[in-house]
Structure 1
């Protein structure tokens, strides 16, 4: 049997219970990686983990995780290393969108986005970096079209994704000499459960916008790099700029 590109490697995917996260778990497992699945929905994590083990013959670990809790994030890293021996890939995928208009946005909605999108990315990255330096691994962050262009419909969400991009690219400059690759994947709309009042799954028909598996393939491509870094990959629906 031919070797797979991530044979013997281990990965953590946050927000792994649906959408981009669950498809990323499948893509990394297909490439041979053992995967720790992190999200809040334990039953869904275990369902996906069992499916992936059956389909790809890798080891999995379902770890119920609140990425905004520093202690829980630390436990996620500890459990992953205990199970797999090392960490080679961290995918910061957990994200949240709430509200829209700043004047109508509640403080609770604001803090929820900041906590998950900003603090969650920071806490997981901080905990993982020493391990990724040991393995000369790959850090992949899910950014957004909203993190590159002004987004009048949801300025706070956009701001969190501008932060993710700035943070990730700055971390890349800091840890490149340590052999760590840092990548940012920037999708526009993806047909998932993601969204606020109406999910993108409900808003768009199949084929209208990007599918989760397309983003997962971009993540897997970045994670497979051994000597180079995929700095940023943008995946937008083909008519995204038609109204600009």
Structure 2
């Protein structure tokens, strides 16, 4: 097994910041060609320019079926195929069910569930052809009940269930990995006020670079696969 992804092509959704941007940096260091998808075209274009690899930036809202398909098609046109898909794009908001607006509910469901489905469906034929890997960003919230953001948690339970069932369906054709972080110091949460960057001191919870390292690890396993990998802050289980 090798830690290099030289000449392999990797798609990263939600690549404009946080885990996605850190993952792009780590994959570029491992030698991969990259396709970066996100709604923030300026951010991913700037990221593609500074990476030391061949990188394509594609403005992508994964909630839109045609946009997710276009990301896959443009990647294949540019690089000839796909070896790894990193399904990272996601949003989350903490709210009691009775206080959650329909718009916020739909945004979470459409991004975290529909977006992963649309992107996976379009990429699967190419991953089967390459014997590639699909990596899904799950969450601690997708494994344990959450009193303060049940809808977000439900989308991550969906992610985990979809990924596991997809792995069963794909069999030996495609490796499938679910990576479950707890809190990660990113811009996550900023939509509702205080982001995780602001809430947590450096070193107190997981850093995005740690998740990126885990993604590279999963992408470079062969002939085995990482089925599931949890990265929690060290005292996380004391919450129970």
Q: Match for residue 204 of structure 2?
A: 208
Partner of 1:168: 163
Post-superposition shift, 1:228?
A: 1.0
- Report if the CA contact (8 A) 2:94-2:148 is conserved: no
Q: 1:4: Cα distance to partner?
A: 6.3
Secondary structure of 1:177's match? coil
After TM superposition, the score normalised by the length of structure 2 is 0.97
Q: How many residues align?
A: 237
Q: Distance in 2 between matches of 1:89 and 1:177?
A: 15
Secondary structure of 1:35's aligned partner = strand
1:149 pairs with 144, 149, 165, which one?
Answer: 144
Checking the alignment, whether the CA contact within 8 Å between 2:3 and 2:220 is kept in structure 1 is no
Superposition misfits of 4+ residues, deviation over 3 angstroms: none
Match of 1:62 among 54, 57, 63: 57
C-alpha displacement of 1:13: 0.2
1:49 aligns with 2:48: yes
* Equivalent position of 2:34 in the other structure: 35
Aligned counterpart, 2:110: 115
Task: Describe the SS at the equivalent of 2:109.
Answer: helix
Alignment of 1:83-94 (within 5 A): 83-94=78-89
Matches within 5 A, 1:131-146: 131-146=126-141
User: What residue in structure 2 maps to residue 100 of structure 1?
Assistant: 95
Structure 2: gaps (5+ residues)? none
Distance in structure 2 (CA, Å) of the matches to 1:233 and 1:225: 13
- Please report the TM-score for the alignment, with normalisation by the length of structure 1: 0.95
Mapped to 2, the partners of 1:52 and 1:15 lie a distance apart of 16
The counterpart of 2:184, out of the listed 179, 182, 190, is: 190
